[in-house]
Structure 1
Amino acid sequence: MKIKLLVVLILITFFSFAQNSNYEKWTAMADNDISLQPEYGNVEKTESQKADDENFKKDILEYYEGDTISASKKMSDLGFTYLYDKGDFVTAMRRFNQAFMLNPKNADAYYGFGTIFFNLGAMKKAREQFDKGLELNPKHPKILTDYGTTYLGDYYESLENGKENSNEFLVKANEYLEKSLDFDKKDSNTIYKLSIVKMYIGDCNEAKKLLDKAKKMNNPNVTESYEIELNEKCN
């Protein structure tokens, strides 16, 4: 079961959850660079940093005709491009921070912060940022889906370490994925991940229905190993 679950979790996210060493390296870098900390670490910037910020805002707001919301959205979109297309966490975090600087109410900036930590395996840190994003937009389906997925990561870790509270993580994962599906019923990744959760909590009928939906939607993350495991558990 351990191996099968690991395969599923690796394939339903951009990176593996088991990246504690990467998180430690990231933290070491971020300690010396506030642009790698969410919200710039909430510290007072130097005069040079403030000047750089003003020059950046002047240039981008001139292009967007003073529209901070559109400019912020562009930066958060760029952040995800660097993260997912290039695997460049450093540039991604800097773009998310620029999105925050332009519009502190941009929930996607916090989604970006959380996604960085999520992909580094720091689930609690990810949820802290996701919580901030959900305060701004409680109906943000992508945040809710990834929030639920962090608990799938915790579930896997708890099984690996032989902890007894693993089912508590499944309950949380189910809660957030259900919420996400309420707001976006066409997201095949949410549907697929919820199928996995339903299988582990023993709701076989729902797990199969959700898997069928994900397959009909041509979700690329559906794996043969998961289908085999589902059939073994739910025969």
Structure 2
Amino acid sequence: MTRIFIAVFVLLSTTLFAQQITPEQWEELVKTNNRLLPKYGLKPRTAPQKESDETFINQVMKQEQFSGDRTAASNHMIGLGFDYLYRGDVKTAMYRFNQAYLLDSLNTNIYWGYGAVYMTIRDYDKARKQYEMGLTEKPENTHLLTGYGTYHMTQYYVLQPHDEEKALSYLDSAVTYMRKSYNLDPKDQNTLFKLSISYWLKGDCDNAWNYYDKCATLGGRPITEAYTKDLNKKCKRKK
């Protein structure tokens, strides 16, 4: 496995495959903990759970930073969920994404969080379904478009050693979804970085550098040293 494969695959899956939880192990955990299911599995809430939910919502909404805006509070919880995901705590991340759902059940960013959890544990089919459900509700959600593009890029890596033609079709789809996301929000560094990688994989050096530079100009937060080296190696800068 090459250096760039490792660096990019870790990035695509959001985190270092935290705790090495497999889909099978996750399913065992879910059997006794529906807090690990998106939207709590849509199972009826018990009276104590409803009381606990209401207490949680009231406590959060008392915070001045949200000014009574439940969507803002929901997005805050999604941000906390990703913080836990980056630290390797997948379970707590899912708890936060579900709390975001409690605060605003219509916030399609929750599917971004759910999809990221499933990407992390490498249950790609369930990740795909979460992104697709969210995009059905809000087709122009840029986080979901980039997440869905990430799913397609990951499928490229999975299939590339075995079925080059099918793998390339996934890579083309990744570019399609990420380009749509970029057109809606040209300042998302995550989208810019992944677009650069996609074009690098396609051998399109001009676009690989174009999106790399756009990302770097905005701060270059997701850019890795490994990718920078491989981009320079494969795509020499034009003088």
Normalised TM-score (structure 1):
0.83
Look up the match of 1:27: 27
How far apart are 1:207 and its partner, in Å? Answer: 1.7
Query: CA distance change for structure 1 residues 167 and 213 in 2, over 3 Å: closer, same or farther?
Result: same
Query: CA distance change for structure 1 residues 154 and 18 in 2, over 3 Å: closer, same or farther?
Result: farther
Query: CA distance change for structure 1 residues 51 and 172 in 2, over 3 Å: closer, same or farther?
Result: same
Aligned equivalents of 1:69 and 1:218: distance in 2? 27
What does residue range 29-178 of structure 1 map to in structure 2 within 5 Å? 29-61=29-61, 67-84=69-86, 86-160=87-161, 162-164=162-164, 165-178=166-179
Look up the match of 1:203: 204
Aligned equivalents of 1:163 and 1:140: distance in 2? 31
Query: CA distance change for structure 1 residues 118 and 19 in 2, over 3 Å: closer, same or farther?
Result: farther
Counterpart code for 1:185: P
User: Counterpart of 2:74 in 1: which secondary structure?
Assistant: helix
Aligned equivalents of 1:212 and 1:37: distance in 2? 39
What does residue range 183-202 of structure 1 map to in structure 2 within 5 Å? 183-202=184-203
Query: CA distance change for structure 1 residues 217 and 57 in 2, over 3 Å: closer, same or farther?
Result: closer
Unpaired runs of 5+ residues, structure 2, are none
Query: CA distance change for structure 1 residues 40 and 167 in 2, over 3 Å: closer, same or farther?
Result: same
Unpaired runs of 5+ residues, structure 1, are none
How far apart are 1:99 and its partner, in Å? Answer: 1.7
What is the RMSD computed on CA atoms of the aligned residues? 2.9
Counterpart code for 1:39: K
Aligned equivalents of 1:201 and 1:18: distance in 2? 29
Please tell me whether the aligned partners of residues 112 and 147 of structure 2 are also in contact (alpha carbons under 8 angstroms): no
Counterpart code for 1:23: P
Aligned equivalents of 1:157 and 1:17: distance in 2? 15
Counterpart code for 2:54: E
